Amino acid sequence: MKTLIRIPEERKPILIGKDGRTKEKIESDTQTKITVKADVEIDGKTEDVLRAKEIVQAIGRGFSPEDAFDLLQEDCQMYVIDMGGETRNTRERLMGRVIGRKGATKNIIEQMTGTKISIYGKTVSIIGDSSGVRRAADAVEDLLEGHTHGFAYRKLKEH
Protein backbone atom coordinates (compact mmCIF):
# COMPACT_ATOMS: atom_id res chain seq x y z
CA MET A 1 0.00 0.00 0.00
CA LYS A 2 1.16 3.52 -0.77
CA THR A 3 -0.14 6.72 0.78
CA LEU A 4 0.71 10.38 0.39
CA ILE A 5 0.72 12.87 3.24
CA ARG A 6 1.23 16.60 3.12
CA ILE A 7 3.10 18.20 6.01
CA PRO A 8 4.31 21.80 6.33
CA GLU A 9 7.55 22.47 4.45
CA GLU A 10 9.28 23.71 7.63
CA ARG A 11 8.58 20.35 9.36
CA LYS A 12 10.22 18.21 6.66
CA PRO A 13 13.79 18.67 7.98
CA ILE A 14 12.55 17.49 11.39
CA LEU A 15 10.91 14.47 9.77
CA ILE A 16 14.14 13.62 7.98
CA GLY A 17 16.35 14.32 11.00
CA LYS A 18 20.10 14.79 11.19
CA ASP A 19 21.75 12.64 8.51
CA GLY A 20 18.32 11.09 7.78
CA ARG A 21 18.21 9.32 11.16
CA THR A 22 14.61 10.15 12.09
CA LYS A 23 13.24 9.00 8.73
CA GLU A 24 15.36 5.85 8.96
CA LYS A 25 14.08 5.10 12.46
CA ILE A 26 10.46 5.47 11.33
CA GLU A 27 11.17 3.17 8.39
CA SER A 28 12.92 0.64 10.61
CA ASP A 29 10.30 0.68 13.39
CA THR A 30 7.37 0.41 10.97
CA GLN A 31 8.91 -1.68 8.17
CA THR A 32 8.04 1.00 5.59
CA LYS A 33 9.80 3.05 2.91
CA ILE A 34 9.40 6.84 3.18
CA THR A 35 10.14 9.31 0.40
CA VAL A 36 10.07 13.02 1.20
CA LYS A 37 9.41 15.33 -1.75
CA ALA A 38 6.54 17.80 -2.24
CA ASP A 39 4.45 15.26 -0.33
CA VAL A 40 5.58 12.46 1.95
CA GLU A 41 5.06 9.04 0.37
CA ILE A 42 4.88 5.98 2.61
CA ASP A 43 5.03 2.49 1.10
CA GLY A 44 4.62 -0.88 2.83
CA LYS A 45 2.04 -3.23 4.26
CA THR A 46 -1.24 -1.55 5.15
CA GLU A 47 -0.93 -1.77 8.94
CA ASP A 48 2.70 -0.62 8.84
CA VAL A 49 1.87 2.31 6.56
CA LEU A 50 -0.91 3.44 8.91
CA ARG A 51 1.47 3.38 11.89
CA ALA A 52 4.14 5.33 9.98
CA LYS A 53 1.52 7.78 8.70
CA GLU A 54 0.46 8.60 12.25
CA ILE A 55 4.06 9.34 13.27
CA VAL A 56 4.65 11.52 10.19
CA GLN A 57 1.40 13.41 10.85
CA ALA A 58 2.41 14.00 14.48
CA ILE A 59 5.75 15.46 13.40
CA GLY A 60 3.86 17.59 10.87
CA ARG A 61 1.62 18.83 13.71
CA GLY A 62 4.62 20.10 15.64
CA PHE A 63 5.57 17.19 17.89
CA SER A 64 9.21 16.25 18.35
CA PRO A 65 10.14 12.92 16.76
CA GLU A 66 10.63 11.47 20.28
CA ASP A 67 7.05 12.35 21.23
CA ALA A 68 5.72 11.14 17.87
CA PHE A 69 7.36 7.73 18.40
CA ASP A 70 5.09 7.26 21.44
CA LEU A 71 2.39 6.47 18.87
CA LEU A 72 4.03 3.08 18.35
CA GLN A 73 2.82 2.04 21.81
CA GLU A 74 -0.32 -0.11 21.95
CA ASP A 75 -2.79 2.30 23.61
CA CYS A 76 -1.30 5.56 22.33
CA GLN A 77 -3.19 7.82 19.98
CA MET A 78 -3.24 11.34 18.58
CA TYR A 79 -6.23 13.65 18.64
CA VAL A 80 -6.35 16.95 16.73
CA ILE A 81 -8.55 19.93 17.63
CA ASP A 82 -9.09 22.76 15.15
CA MET A 83 -8.93 26.01 17.13
CA GLY A 84 -11.03 27.82 14.57
CA GLY A 85 -10.86 31.57 14.81
CA GLU A 86 -11.72 33.70 11.84
CA THR A 87 -8.92 36.21 12.32
CA ARG A 88 -5.28 35.99 13.27
CA ASN A 89 -5.99 37.94 16.48
CA THR A 90 -8.70 35.45 17.48
CA ARG A 91 -6.40 32.48 16.81
CA GLU A 92 -3.59 34.07 18.82
CA ARG A 93 -5.97 34.73 21.73
CA LEU A 94 -7.22 31.13 21.66
CA MET A 95 -3.67 29.83 21.40
CA GLY A 96 -2.69 31.96 24.38
CA ARG A 97 -5.54 30.50 26.45
CA VAL A 98 -4.30 26.96 25.81
CA ILE A 99 -0.60 27.74 26.27
CA GLY A 100 -1.00 30.04 29.28
CA ARG A 101 1.62 32.33 30.77
CA LYS A 102 5.07 30.86 30.06
CA GLY A 103 3.43 27.57 29.00
CA ALA A 104 1.86 26.97 32.41
CA THR A 105 -1.62 25.95 31.21
CA LYS A 106 -0.29 23.52 28.61
CA ASN A 107 2.10 22.02 31.20
CA ILE A 108 -0.64 21.61 33.82
CA ILE A 109 -2.94 19.83 31.37
CA GLU A 110 -0.08 17.57 30.23
CA GLN A 111 0.86 16.68 33.81
CA MET A 112 -2.71 16.06 34.96
CA THR A 113 -3.52 13.83 31.97
CA GLY A 114 -0.18 12.18 31.18
CA THR A 115 -0.33 13.53 27.63
CA LYS A 116 1.82 15.63 25.33
CA ILE A 117 0.31 18.67 23.63
CA SER A 118 1.47 20.56 20.53
CA ILE A 119 -0.03 23.86 19.41
CA TYR A 120 0.87 24.41 15.78
CA GLY A 121 -0.81 26.50 13.13
CA LYS A 122 -4.56 26.41 13.70
CA THR A 123 -4.57 23.16 15.67
CA VAL A 124 -4.00 21.72 19.12
CA SER A 125 -2.81 18.11 18.95
CA ILE A 126 -2.67 15.69 21.86
CA ILE A 127 -0.75 12.41 22.16
CA GLY A 128 -1.36 9.91 24.95
CA ASP A 129 -3.48 6.98 26.05
CA SER A 130 -7.19 7.11 25.24
CA SER A 131 -8.26 8.21 28.72
CA GLY A 132 -5.63 10.95 28.99
CA VAL A 133 -6.31 12.23 25.49
CA ARG A 134 -10.05 12.42 26.17
CA ARG A 135 -9.50 14.36 29.42
CA ALA A 136 -6.93 16.71 27.86
CA ALA A 137 -9.17 17.32 24.84
CA ASP A 138 -12.09 18.20 27.13
CA ALA A 139 -9.91 20.71 29.02
CA VAL A 140 -8.59 22.29 25.80
CA GLU A 141 -12.10 22.51 24.32
CA ASP A 142 -13.38 24.11 27.55
CA LEU A 143 -10.67 26.76 27.28
CA LEU A 144 -11.36 27.35 23.58
CA GLU A 145 -15.06 27.79 24.39
CA GLY A 146 -14.17 30.53 26.88
CA HIS A 147 -14.46 28.69 30.20
CA THR A 148 -12.05 29.83 32.92
CA HIS A 149 -8.79 28.02 33.54
CA GLY A 150 -10.03 27.21 37.05
CA PHE A 151 -13.10 25.51 35.59
CA ALA A 152 -10.94 23.39 33.25
CA TYR A 153 -8.54 22.43 36.07
CA ARG A 154 -11.38 21.50 38.48
CA LYS A 155 -12.95 19.32 35.83
CA LEU A 156 -9.62 17.57 35.28
CA LYS A 157 -9.24 16.90 39.01
CA GLU A 158 -12.72 15.34 39.17
CA HIS A 159 -11.84 12.65 36.65
CATH 3.30.1370.10 fits 2-72, yes or no: yes
pTM (whole model) above 0.85? yes
The confidence score (pLDDT) of residue 149 equals: 97
Averages of pLDDT over each 10 residues, the chain, 159 residues? 96 97 98 97 97 98 98 96 88 95 97 98 96 98 96 92
Choosing among 3.40.50.970, 3.30.1370.10, 3.90.1150.10, 2.30.29.30, the CATH entry for 76-158 is 3.30.1370.10
Q: How far apart are CA 158 and CA 30, in angstroms?
A: 38
Q: Which residues contact 158 (CB under 8 A, 6 or more apart)?
A: none
Instruction: Name 48's Cβ contacts closer than 8 Å, sequence gap at least 6.
Output: 30, 31, 32
